Amino acid sequence: MATRIPKTPPTPPAQKPAGDDGDSVVLERRPQKTAPPQMYQVVMLNDDYTPMEFVIVVLQEYFSKDRESATQIMLKIHLDGRGVCGVYSRDMAATKVNQVMEAAQQAGHPLQCVSEPVA
């Protein structure tokens, strides 16, 4: 049986840093700033054949608009020839365009929808 307290190992003497001969180069850290991703707006284009009610339903279903804002966007599309439905990242905008175009094609409407970079 050991009844003695173990000895602590001796600490090594402090070492001084080596002298600088003046040839060293020190690099500064600069925080990297990443730019936010390019955003794209989904734009519906007016035509004379797609019913206004269908455009409102598409805006509600695929862009989560309430009835009032969907109606306002539909009127902008009707009066100005185009209207912004939403602003998304590139992939989300492309997905929204594909969903709208597929729904219009299945319903037999010539509704056109495009995405374009936000300026």
Return the pLDDT at 18: 65
pLDDT score recorded for residue 79: 97
pTM of the model: 0.72
Of 5-19, 32-46, 72-86, the range with the lowest mean pLDDT is 5-19
Place of tokens 């009066």: 79
- Residue 116: pLDDT band (50, 70, 90) is very high
Reported confidence tier of residue 3, pLDDT bands at 50, 70, 90? confident
What pLDDT score was predicted for residue 31? 87
SS (H, E, C) 79-112: HHCEEEEEEEEHHHHHHHHHHHHHHHHHHCCCCE
Helices 67-80 and 52-63 pack at an angle, to 10 degrees, of: 130
Q: Are 42 and 88 in contact (CB under 8 A)?
A: yes
Please determine, for residue 82, whether its predicted confidence score (pLDDT) is greater than 60. yes
Q: Taken in order 57, 98, 45, 38, is the CA torsion positive or negative?
A: positive
Backbone angles phi, psi at 78, to 5 degrees: -65, -40
- Residue-level pLDDT at 102: 98
Tens of pLDDT, residue by residue over 47-78, are 999 999 999 999 999 999 999 999 999 999 99
**Pairing mode, if any, of strands 112-117 and 82-89?**
unpaired
